[in-house]
């Protein structure tokens, strides 16, 4: 949305495509405490709404599509021409910004799909209230896991955080809040191996990675935050480099190494996943796209493509 806003302000013809609600994971985040300008925190949905209003101020509703991009490619005849396809339509452009984020990784257990709606969830803000007065488990050790665990203490009788290491990866201030919460407990060096209950979740079986011993934790809810996978399946461009996990590598200008093609946000290979970083990188991508288009026009290579 930041990239779209900056692009719109430079009078580029902008097409914004999103497969869901604008704002991505902000829409499933309870509160955001580290975005400048909101010292008393701001709700994730509220911030996503403000972002979308700002972006759409500079982009007409006719140039905003809610659809899934099936393919992004570069013309074999002219590297300056790109094609963006959705199911029933294709768009020709000179520049494209990949800002598709990442999808949470699924828990690797037998009969995974069986437990959806029966206790397994990947969104505390969506499902937390269903477990009022009941024990729940959170899997993960980063900021997302611990922050959502803290959020769940509003409803749950107890929240047990299961982490495969012997210390959390969350920021110190988040850890301090978690360790001081009387409703939170921790199972270290452990992973989930199976779920039990009928017809809904009743127990989570874990295995200690050091002792190989197994035990069961009584829980009616299981919330998973074990990382994410970049949304890049639609990118069909030879020459784009990714890291071992599939995140797109760019230079400091957000360029992927193909003229006019940029990547920004959580889809990009960068060790930190923060809204403020994504905003900054989105602005860089849009401004560099504008420079690229200006240079094409200067050289007489601009073809007057749609976007």
Active site residues: 123, 126-127
Closest CA relative to residue 171, chosen from 54, 40, 30, 33? 33
Given the structure tokens 């030879």, which residue do they identify?
A: 238
Helix (H, G, I), strand (E, B) or coil at 130: helix
List Cβ neighbours of 265 (8 Å cut-off, separation of 6 or more). Answer: 99, 100, 101, 278, 281, 282
List Cβ neighbours of 302 (8 Å cut-off, separation of 6 or more). Answer: 94, 293, 296
Q: How far is it, in rounded angstroms, from Cα 281 to Cα 287?
A: 10
Assigned token pair, 39: 């010292």
CA atoms lying within 13 Å on the CB side of residue 163: 19
């Amino acid at each position: 949305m930041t990239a779209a806003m900056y692009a719109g302000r430079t009078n580029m013809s902008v097409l914004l495509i999103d497969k869901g609600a604008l704002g991505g994971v902000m829409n499933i985040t309870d509160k955001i405490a580290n975005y400048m300008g909101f010292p008393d925190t701001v709700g994730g949905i509220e911030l996503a709404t403000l972002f979308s209003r700002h972006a759409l101020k500079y982009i007409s509703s006719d140039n905003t599509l809610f659809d899934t991009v099936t393919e992004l490619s570069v013309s074999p005849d002219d590297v300056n021409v790109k094609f963006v396809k959705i199911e029933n339509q294709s768009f020709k452009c000179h520049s494209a910004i990949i800002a598709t984020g990442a999808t949470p990784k699924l828990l690797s257990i037998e009969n995974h799909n069986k437990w959806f709606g029966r206790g397994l969830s990947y969104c505390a803000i969506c499902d937390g209230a269903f477990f009022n007065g009941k024990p729940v488990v959170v899997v993960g050790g980063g900021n997302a896991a611990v922050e959502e665990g803290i959020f769940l203490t509003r409803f749950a009788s107890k929240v047990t955080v299961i982490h495969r290491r012997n210390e959390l990866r969350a920021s110190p201030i988040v850890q301090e809040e978690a360790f001081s919460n009387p409703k939170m407990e921790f199972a270290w060096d452990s992973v989930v191996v199976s779920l039990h209950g009928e017809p809904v979740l009743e127990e989570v079986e874990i295995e200690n990675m050091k002792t190989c011993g197994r035990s069961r934790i009584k829980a009616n809810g299981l919330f998973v935050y074990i990382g994410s996978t970049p949304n890049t399946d639609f990118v069909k461009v030879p020459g784009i480099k990714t890291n071992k996990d599939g995140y797109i590598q760019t230079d400091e200008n957000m360029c992927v190494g193909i003229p006019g093609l940029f990547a920004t946000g959580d889809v990009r290979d960068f060790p930190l996943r923060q809204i403020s970083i994504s905003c900054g990188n989105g602005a860089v991508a849009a401004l560099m796209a504008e420079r690229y288009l200006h240079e094409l026009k200067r050289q007489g290579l601009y073809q007057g493509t749609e976007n």
